Chains A and B, each alone.
Chain A
Amino acid sequence: MSDSQSRFAEFIKACTKVLELPDPTIGGDNYLFQVGDRWVELKRNERGDLVNFLSAIYLAPPDGELRDDLIASFNTHYLFNGGFSLVADPENGRIYLGRTHRLAALDARDIRRELLAFAGTASMAGTWYMRNEDETTAPPSAPPRENPGSFLKV
């Protein structure tokens, strides 16, 4: 296990301990927590110095296109208001809300508050996007197919 991988794994283990969840299995560069009806993914970068919080906020209807203008506009405004960005995955018609943290600045003792706050912001970002897009499709509620992570009771 590389140094960056083990530091990430240690942080996630500390988080699950604080949340009183079972010991996690961390094989890759990410881990998923369920917060209410939403999945929040913690994903490290290759160097291991950054951890991104990510949560899907929008799923486009079949053949629907993502609105680049809305995404780029959001990214201007919320860079200065919380440091949030929308991360597009046009191949799968999904948009994620993301927020970068330095791993060194994260404290596992705050993880419950951080996850709840991020999930709340993701919910609002999804509402914002759909309202601006004038689109009525519901956001994705199915869990991602990969590592299902742990359930966080809220």
Chain B
Amino acid sequence: MSSLPRILVDFAGACDGRFGAGSAGYNDDGAFVAVEGRTVHVNLDQNANRVVLWTEIERPQNSPIGSFEHAAVGYTAREFLARGLAIGVNRKADLILLGRSIEQDALAGDDALDLVEEIAREAEAVGAMLQKAARPVGAAAPAGDAVIFRS
């Protein structure tokens, strides 16, 4: 019997309904769902009563991890305010992720499935954006992306 909170088990069931039978599962760490060939993870943030929906972004090839951080930070500045989306880059773990943190209650409705779908769809665009921003080892830094923050 799983020790997971009921909310994750129910969420995985709802995902099966939306994204196809067998598309979602859960383990001790959280739930996960396959959407169009991509895995979106769902992890509880217990202390904050929130949930994180996230997916890993493929690292641009032949480029140092620092070469696209500026673009990642610019993306977050725009999209965090608009949609609550953020790109995280962890050099030590060699990890790039796209995610959003939502209130735990929000996991119970249809809206949560839309948010999962949006992460999967957006991840494709983010991967392409970072690939474009990345420069090969040894190449000069590109001109910075414009970041519009204040309206």
* B88 part of interface (Cβ distance < 8 Å): yes
**In the bound complex, how far is the Cα of B82 from the Cα of A90, in angstroms?**
18
Task: Output the least CB separation between A87 and chain B (Å).
Answer: 5
Among the interface residues A66, A92, A102, which one has the most CB atoms of the partner chain B within 10 A? A102
* B118 part of interface (Cβ distance < 8 Å): no
Interface residues of B in 109-147 (CB under 8 A from A): 144, 147
Task: Output the least CB separation between B66 and chain A (Å).
Answer: 6
Chain B interface, number of residues (Cβ within 8 angstroms): 40
**In the bound complex, how far is the Cα of B52 from the Cα of A72, in angstroms?**
17
Dominant SS at the A interface?
Answer: mixed
- The answer to whether A101 touches B91, judged by C-beta atoms less than 8 angstroms apart, is no
**Chain B 55-91, CB within 8 Å of chain A: the 1/0 string?**
0000000000010011011101100111110111111
Task: Output the least CB separation between A103 and chain B (Å).
Answer: 11
* B10 part of interface (Cβ distance < 8 Å): no
A89-B77 contact in complex given A82-B47, A100-B100, A100-B101, C-beta closer than 8 Å: yes
Residue of chain B at shortest CB distance from A54: B81
Which residues from chain B contact A66 at a C-beta distance below 8 Å?
73
Partner of A98, one of B72, B81, B91: B81
Task: Output the least CB separation between B90 and chain A (Å).
Answer: 4
**In the bound complex, how far is the Cα of B45 from the Cα of A76, in angstroms?**
13
Which residues from chain B contact A52 at a C-beta distance below 8 Å?
80-81, 84
- The answer to whether A73 touches B91, judged by C-beta atoms less than 8 angstroms apart, is yes
* B38 part of interface (Cβ distance < 8 Å): no
Which residues from chain B contact A105 at a C-beta distance below 8 Å?
103, 105-106
**In the bound complex, how far is the Cα of B50 from the Cα of A105, in angstroms?**
11
Task: Output the least CB separation between B67 and chain A (Å).
Answer: 10
Which residues from chain A contact B76 at a C-beta distance below 8 Å?
71-72, 75, 85-88
* B39 part of interface (Cβ distance < 8 Å): no
Which residues from chain B contact A69 at a C-beta distance below 8 Å?
66, 69, 89, 91
**In the bound complex, how far is the Cα of B70 from the Cα of A46, in angstroms?**
25
Which residues from chain A contact B147 at a C-beta distance below 8 Å?
88-91
* A50 part of interface (Cβ distance < 8 Å): yes
Interface residues of A in 77-95 (CB under 8 A from B): 77, 79-83, 85-92
A-B contact pairs, 16 of them (CB 8 A): A45-B82, A45-B83, A68-B66, A69-B69, A72-B89, A73-B90, A79-B52, A79-B100, A80-B45, A80-B52, A81-B47, A83-B48, A83-B102, A88-B73, A100-B84, A102-B106
